[in-house]
Amino acid sequence: MEPHSPVRRKPSQARRARAGSHLPQPLTPESHAAALQGVRKFMKSYTPYDVFPISFKQIVIDTQLEVKKALQALLQNGNVSAPLWNSEKNQFAGLFTVLDIIHLIQYYYATATSMDSAVSDVEHFRLEAIRDIERAINVPPPPLISVHPLESLYEACRLMLQTHAHRLPLIDKDSQTGDPVVLSVLTQYRVIKFIAANCRDTSHLHMSLRTLGVGAYVQPGVKADDPHWPLATATMDTTVFDVVHMFSARGISAVPIVDANGKVINLYETVDVITLVRNGAYQHLDLTISEALSHRSADFPGVITCTGRDSLGALISLLRQRRVHRLVVVEGDEVEESRRGRLLGIISLSDVLKYLVGSVESETLREI
């Protein structure tokens, strides 16, 4: 027998490189953690300035302006906050927000000699003295912080969370005079929407909201007289003034409205107070929530709910599609019908951002 000659592989039979798997990655705690690290890496590779569109408008309000005129400026521009500017000192002076209006209303309703006097005082009060009012009602003034527009987006978010701020002014310096220039205000909603629209890793955040501890949840049995503790709640018969006090005392911006069975039927927000102010009805804060809601704008999107079993990725995807600032967590289809819709918790943008950023141990704050 002749020895076998080696078989030569034809060019067409050349070994091909193995293609990567197209199967979905397994949903494990490790895959979720990897996606979370991807989100944080994404945030560290962008700046606050990247979050904004090419063209945008920013209003800045002088501290000498009266509250009524400042509020008109906000409403005319569709804003709920604006940077303050001290023209005498030529420097940034903080932010004017809806919460400032609430603090003023609280103060003057408690100290004015008459209802008409309170209304007049609120409308003609100058913005430069807002911090004095906060001290008078034992509300700590917000830290006067800002960030450079080219700072890391991740670090800017850490700073927001450290100071419990929902907004962070972006301040640069004029290249010729060296004077500070307010470019815009970074908000939690704008940050999360930017991440949702541009970071693919968010779709792999598959673990549930309740498992991750994102949000604040009812702790039944802790307080016998308050089945929703530690959440602030109200009913349709609660007065607006009582809810306004909750906003101020707890530093929150929304209160779920529940029925006798604990089911969520509405939500009252700080922006609803602005609607009352615009319509002149804030002179009667003894209105019930039911009466106050009749003044609400017709374009109110409704109460956005979720369950504790929904994933963080699904929530972030929703924030990309809809302008939502909080979600109410309710009992879902896994319970009997009579319990569905009962209040379980509330998730704010701060809760979502806090989870995405991670540890926010205190560092030296960059105050102006």
Of all residues in the chain, the percent with pLDDT exceeding 70 is 86
- Does residue 210 sit in the same domain as residue 329? yes
* CA gap 68, 296 in Å, rounded: 20
Q: What is the pLDDT of residues 323-349, one digit of tens each?
A: 899 999 999 888 888 889 999 999 999
Asked, for residue 25, whether it belongs to a domain, the answer is no
Of all residues in the chain, the percent with pLDDT exceeding 90 is 53
Asked, for residue 328, whether it belongs to a domain, the answer is yes
Lowest mean pLDDT among 43-57, 127-141, 317-331: 127-141
What CATH number does residue 251 fall under? 3.10.580.10
Residues paired with residue 145 on neighbouring β-strands, in sequence order: 367
Q: Give the number of other Cβ atoms within 10 Å of residue 18's Cβ.
A: 6
Is pLDDT of 232 > 80? Answer: yes
User: What is the model's pLDDT at position 80?
Assistant: 86
Please state the rounded mean pLDDT for residues 26-39: 94
Asked, for residue 182, whether it belongs to a domain, the answer is yes
Q: Do the strands 180-187 and 167-173 form a parallel or antiparallel pair, or are they unpaired?
A: antiparallel
Asked, for residue 28, whether it belongs to a domain, the answer is no
Work out the burial of residue 367: count CB atoms within 10 Å of its CB; fewer than 13 is exposed, 13-18 middle, 19 or more buried: exposed
Residues paired with residue 327 on neighbouring β-strands, in sequence order: 347
Is pLDDT of 85 > 60? Answer: yes
Asked, for residue 40, whether it belongs to a domain, the answer is no
* CA gap 190, 194 in Å, rounded: 6
Residue tagged 């009579």 (tokens): 338
Is pLDDT of 361 > 80? Answer: no
- Does residue 184 sit in the same domain as residue 204? no
Helices 270-279 and 67-76 sit at what angle, rounded to 10 degrees? 110
User: What is the model's pLDDT at position 109?
Assistant: 73
Asked, for residue 87, whether it belongs to a domain, the answer is yes
User: What is the model's pLDDT at position 24?
Assistant: 60
Is pLDDT of 192 > 90? Answer: yes
User: What is the model's pLDDT at position 360?
Assistant: 60
Could you say which of 169, 194, 219 is where a domain stops? Answer: 194
- Does residue 168 sit in the same domain as residue 231? no
Whether residue 202 contacts residue 35, with contact meaning beta carbons closer than 8 Å, is answered with yes
Which stretches of the chain are assigned E, i.e. beta strand? 61-62, 81-86, 91-97, 167-173, 180-187, 216-217, 254-258, 264-269, 305-306, 326-330, 343-348
Could you say which of 151, 178, 194 is where a domain stops? Answer: 194
- Does residue 235 sit in the same domain as residue 349? yes
- Does residue 250 sit in the same domain as residue 314? yes
Is pLDDT of 305 > 90? Answer: yes
More reliable by pLDDT, 14 or 330: 330
User: What is the model's pLDDT at position 367?
Assistant: 41
Whether residue 233 contacts residue 258, with contact meaning beta carbons closer than 8 Å, is answered with yes
User: What is the model's pLDDT at position 303?
Assistant: 93
DSSP state of 328: E
Smallest Cα–Cα separation from 368: which of 10, 155, 85?
85
Is pLDDT of 2 > 70? Answer: no
Band (46; pLDDT cuts 50, 70, 90): very high
247 backbone dihedrals φ, ψ, rounded to 5°: -55, -50
Long-range contacts of 237-242 (CB under 8 A, 24+ apart): 237/288, 237/289, 237/290, 238/288, 238/289, 239/285, 239/286, 239/287, 239/288, 239/289, 240/268, 240/273, 240/276, 240/285, 240/286, 240/287, 240/288, 240/289, 240/292, 241/109, 241/285, 241/286
Positive or negative, the Cα torsion across 20, 26, 31, 32? Answer: positive
Q: How many domains does the chain have?
A: 2
Q: What is the pTM of this model?
A: 0.85
Domain residues for the domain of 87 are 48-194
User: What is the model's pLDDT at position 260?
Assistant: 94
The per-residue pLDDT of the chain, averaged, comes to 86
Is pLDDT of 77 > 50? Answer: yes
* CA gap 208, 18 in Å, rounded: 35
Instruction: With H, G, I as helix, E, B as strand and everything else as coil, classify residue 135.
Output: helix
Asked, for residue 2, whether it belongs to a domain, the answer is no
Is pLDDT of 15 > 70? Answer: no
Band (363; pLDDT cuts 50, 70, 90): very low
Please state the rounded mean pLDDT for residues 212-227: 91
Please state the rounded mean pLDDT for residues 139-167: 90
Could you say which of 194, 217, 240 is where a domain stops? Answer: 194
